[in-house]
Amino acid sequence: MSKENESTRPGWANAIEIGQSVDSPGRTVTESMLSLLTTLTGYTHPLFTDVTWSASTSSIGVTPLPGAVVLALLGGLAEQSGFFGKANLVLVGFESVRFNRVVVAGDTLRVRITVVEKELKSNERTLIRMEWTGLNQKDETVAGLYAVFMVSNN
């Protein structure tokens, strides 16, 4: 059965297996995307808003994407992976978030999703913990975390 069929039929939580993994498509961060997302999310520190300051003062020499925005992009890429389909689920939280590398304009991000834990909470719900690894175009890890979802068993 294909992943899409598994994720759209009742009992999706029962169909996925610990160790199951999928990669999302990639998305390239552009200068305009970096500027727009930084502005929309309200970041004001010159590291994120002043190209001249970032180039001359920061140790990385360029304007990075704020970490919280990287998380938002990884979430969108996770949905684009097709793994969740039309499953009835809700994000409970993120655990052990870490940023390994800065993300800058020109980087192409994707997320690798791996199911690491399933815990039946009731006849109606299962808690599912997934490891999300954000990767760039060089397959370097830019971020990692555990995303925890409550999923309907129906």
Q: Map residue 73 onto helix, strand or coil.
A: helix
Classify domain 3-152 at the CATH class level: alpha beta
Selection from 100, 96, 109 nearest residue 34 by Cα: 109
Do the Cβ atoms of 63 and 51 come closer than 8 Å?
A: yes
The pTM of this model reads 0.87
Q: pLDDT tens digits for the chain (154 residues)?
A: 344 444 444 578 888 999 999 999 999 999 999 999 999 999 999 889 888 988 888 888 889 999 999 999 999 999 999 999 888 899 999 999 999 999 999 999 999 999 999 999 988 899 999 999 999 999 999 999 999 999 998 7
Biggest CA-to-CA distance, the chain = 58
Q: How far apart are CA 126 and CA 14, in angstroms?
A: 8
Do the Cβ atoms of 143 and 97 come closer than 8 Å?
A: yes
The domain spans of the chain are: 3-152
Lookup: tokens for 50:
């002043």
